[in-house]
Amino acid sequence: GGSMQLGWPVSIEGGDGAGKSTQAELLLIRLKATGVDALLVHEPGGTDFGEHVRRLVKGDVERSPMSELFLFEAARAQLVQDVIRPALEAGQVVVTDRYADSSLAYQGSGRGLDLADVRALNHAATGGLMPDATVLLEIPPDQALARVDGSDGSDGRSDDPEQARFEQEPIEFHRRVAEGFRALASEEPGRWFVVDASAAPDRVAQKVWAIVSSLLVLRGISTDA
Ligand code: TYD
């Protein structure tokens, strides 16, 4: 509806190996199949500048936690200005695969930066633009990382040179990130929807769709095309 504040229905969050990208893609297919003009964006990245930052943060270049935070925020600022805001103004439904909450969980809870600092930079980078809701795909870090490195019998992706920095952090780091996400979800239960991501992908997709389709109704967007 025209009176709705600029924003989008949902961001998808979770630790490495939670299956966010798969779920985001399934969601996009579902949105398009129901006639919704939808756009998927993945952080970090989505702009030329953001892709450079993505390579930098995923690589092994030494950096302090605060420098790392600024890199993610820089990529986010560019993405909001060049992609997210114009898409929303054009009436598209945006789905974000990670967004500002990832910085709170990874650079805040994971790296130990002051959450108030992270919030301030999130606000500066986004201009306060936030999704209506955030789906947390929750899976125990041990299980998630086994998916990532293929030790659970899956293909994994450990041979992908891009999958360096964060997935090689110790399990304790990933536990802090997971705790951070959980804390965010319990502090703001009206925005967060926690979904058990250890279930089969199509079950998870059904739950995500149930959440997102009800949010679209609230935005006055029809999904019965
Ligand atoms: P990516 O391959 O996009 O991870 P995923 O497939 O899990 O989305 O790599 C992005 C990595 O960057 C991921 O490990 C999470 C991390 N990250 C942060 O630490 N802070 C942030 O603000 C964002 C957006 C990502």
CA–CA separation, 177 vs 106, rounded Å? Answer: 5
For ligand 1, atom 19: residue with the closest CA: 106
Ligand 1 atom nearest residue 44's Cα:
24
Q: Does residue 68 line the site of ligand 1, with CB under 6 A? A: no
Do 110 and 165 meet the contact criterion of CB atoms below 8 Å apart? no
β-partners of residue 42 are 97
Query: For residue range 63-98, what is the model confidence (pLDDT) as tens digits?
Result: 999 999 999 999 999 999 999 999 999 999 999 999
What is the distance in A from the centroid of ligand 1 to the CA of 181? 13
Give this prediction's pTM: 0.93
Share of the chain above pLDDT 70, in %: 93
Q: What is the pLDDT of residue 1?
A: 43
Do 71 and 56 meet the contact criterion of CB atoms below 8 Å apart? yes
Query: For residue range 135-177, what is the model confidence (pLDDT) as tens digits?
Result: 999 999 999 988 887 777 766 655 555 557 898 899 999 999 9
Residue 43 has pLDDT above 50, yes or no: yes
- Identify which of 72, 98, 119 to mutate to test ligand 1's pocket (most ligand atoms within 8 A of the CB): 98
Average pLDDT over residues 118-122: 98
Q: What is the pLDDT of residue 221?
A: 87
